[in-house]
C-alpha cells in the first residue's frame, strides 16, 4: 500500500529549491489502545471540562486559552492573538549547515519523517542525497510548519531517499549532570570477561525485522480470547533478578549460558508450528470419519 503524504515542503539548499512531500515514518495504527466506557451499558464516554473554582461544566464556546506567568496568575489570549504568535507555516526546510552525524548525540532525536520527491524536484533531491553520502555529513535545517519552527536533521536513507529527523532543542534535553552516578573501579579481568560476553553476542548489524514486541502479541492474544467470550487468567509477573554479589561470578555464568538464538527462532518456530498442526488435522479428520 502506497504511503500518503502528510504535508508538502521545500528544501532550501543554497539557491537550490527542492520540492518534497513529507511522510510519517512510524506506524501509529499498530499501537493498542483502549477506550473509556460506562460500566453499566458499555457506551463510550466523552470528555468534559470542569471549572476548579465553582465545579461547573464548561462548554467549549466558553473557553479561552491563557498563559500562567506566575502561580495561579494568567494572561488570556484571543484566537486572533494566538494566531499572531504562531510562526508562519511556510513549510520551508532551510538548510543551515552540514555536520558529521557522529557529532549529533541521539538523545536529541525526536520524531522521524521520510521525504519523498515532488514534481520537478527529482534531480536536486538526488543530488542532495548523494552529496551527503559522499561527504559523510548530514544537514541541519529549520523547518517552519504547524505554527512552529522545528530544528531538523536531513540524512541519506534507503534507496537514495532522504530522512528528516526532528531534533529537540538544547533547553528540551536534561543534562546528564542531573543524574546521580556512583563511581566504581573496574578490574582488567572484569573488563576482559565483559569483552568476551560482548563478542559472544556480537552481530554484524541491526536487523529490526528480527525483533518483535512480545508483550503486544500476548496482549492481542488475550484480547482475542475476550472477544471470543473466553476467560483470561492473570499470570503473575516475574520478579527481577537478585542483587549481584560477585561481578566476576556473574560474568563467568553469563559466558557459560548459551545466547538466545533470536535469528533462528522465527524459522524454527514456524517449522515446529507447521509440524505440530499436521497431526492435529489428521486427528480431526479421523474423528470426523
Q: What is the pLDDT along the chain (289 residues), one digit of tens a residue?
A: 678 999 999 999 888 999 999 999 988 777 788 999 999 999 999 989 999 989 999 999 999 999 999 998 999 999 888 888 876 677 899 999 999 999 999 999 999 999 999 999 999 999 999 999 999 999 999 998 888 899 999 999 999 999 999 999 999 999 999 999 999 999 999 999 999 999 988 889 888 888 888 888 888 888 888 888 888 877 666 665 556 568 888 888 888 777 665 554 444 444 333 433 344 444 444 434 3
Helix (H, G, I), strand (E, B) or coil at 235: coil
Helices H / strands E in the chain, number of each: 6, 11
Cα–Cα distance between 104 and 109 in angstroms, integer? 9
Are residues 65 and 123 in contact, defined by beta-carbon separation less than 8 angstroms?
no
- What is residue 255's predicted lDDT score, i.e. its pLDDT? 82
The DSSP secondary-structure symbol of 44 reads B
- What is residue 75's predicted lDDT score, i.e. its pLDDT? 94
DSSP strand pairing (162-167 vs 148-156): antiparallel
Could you tell me which of 103, 126, 107, 106 has the C-alpha nearest to residue 11? 126
Q: Which residues pair with 167 in a beta bridge?
A: 109, 151
| pTM, full prediction | 0.71
- What is residue 87's predicted lDDT score, i.e. its pLDDT? 67
- What is residue 287's predicted lDDT score, i.e. its pLDDT? 39
**Residue 117 exposure: Cα atoms within 13 Å on the Cβ side:** 14
- Residue ranges matching CATH 2.40.290.10 in the chain: 7-27+86-171
CATH of the domain spanning 7-27+86-171:
2.40.290.10
- What is residue 127's predicted lDDT score, i.e. its pLDDT? 95
CA separation (Å) from 104 to 30, 165, 178? 29, 11, 20
Cα–Cα distance between 14 and 253 in angstroms, integer? 58
Amino acid at each position: 500500500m502506497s504511503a500518503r503524504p502528510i504535508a508538502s515542503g521545500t528544501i532550501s539548499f543554497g539557491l537550490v529549491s527542492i520540492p518534497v512531500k513529507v511522510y510519517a515514518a512510524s506506524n501509529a495504527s499498530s499501537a493498542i489502545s483502549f477506550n473509556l466506557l460506562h460500566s453499566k451499558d458499555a457506551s463510550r464516554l466523552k470528555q468534559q471540562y470542569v471549572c476548579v473554582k465553582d465545579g461547573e461544566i464548561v462548554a467549549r464556546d466558553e473557553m479561552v486559552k491563557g498563559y500562567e506567568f506566575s502561580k495561579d496568575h494568567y494572561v488570556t489570549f484571543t484566537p486572533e492573538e494566538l494566531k499572531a504568535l504562531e510562526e508562519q507555516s511556510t513549510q520551508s526546510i532551510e538548510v543551515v549547515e552540514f555536520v558529521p552525524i557522529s557529532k549529533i548525540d541521539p538523545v536529541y532525536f525526536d520524531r522521524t519523517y521520510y521525504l519523498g520527491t515532488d514534481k520537478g524536484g527529482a534531480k536536486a533531491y538526488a543530488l542532495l542525497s548523494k552529496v551527503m553520502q559522499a561527504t559523510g555529513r548530514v544537514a541541519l535545517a529549520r523547518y517552519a510548519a504547524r505554527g512552529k519552527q522545528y530544528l531538523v536533521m536531513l540524512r541519506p536513507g534507503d534507496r537514495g531517499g532522504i530522512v528528516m529527523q526532528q531534533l529537540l532543542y538544547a533547553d528540551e534535553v536534561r543534562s546528564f549532570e542531573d543524574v546521580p552516578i556512583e563511581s566504581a573501579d573496574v578490574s582488567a579481568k572484569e573488563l576482559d570477561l565483559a569483552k568476551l560476553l560482548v563478542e559472544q553476542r556480537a552481530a554484524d548489524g541491526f536487523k529490526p525485522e528480527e525483533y518483535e514486541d512480545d508483550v503486544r502479541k500476548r496482549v492481542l492474544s488475550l484480547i482475542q480470547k475476550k472477544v471470543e467470550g473466553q476467560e483470561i487468567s492473570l499470570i503473575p509477573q516475574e520478579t527481577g533478578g537478585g542483587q549481584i554479589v560477585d561481578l566476576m561470578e556473574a560474568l563467568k555464568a553469563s559466558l557459560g549460558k548459551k545466547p538466545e538464538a533470536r535469528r533462528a527462532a522465527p524459522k524454527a518456530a514456524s517449522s515446529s508450528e507447521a509440524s505440530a498442526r499436521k497431526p492435529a488435522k489428521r486427528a480431526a479428520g479421523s474423528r470426523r470419519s
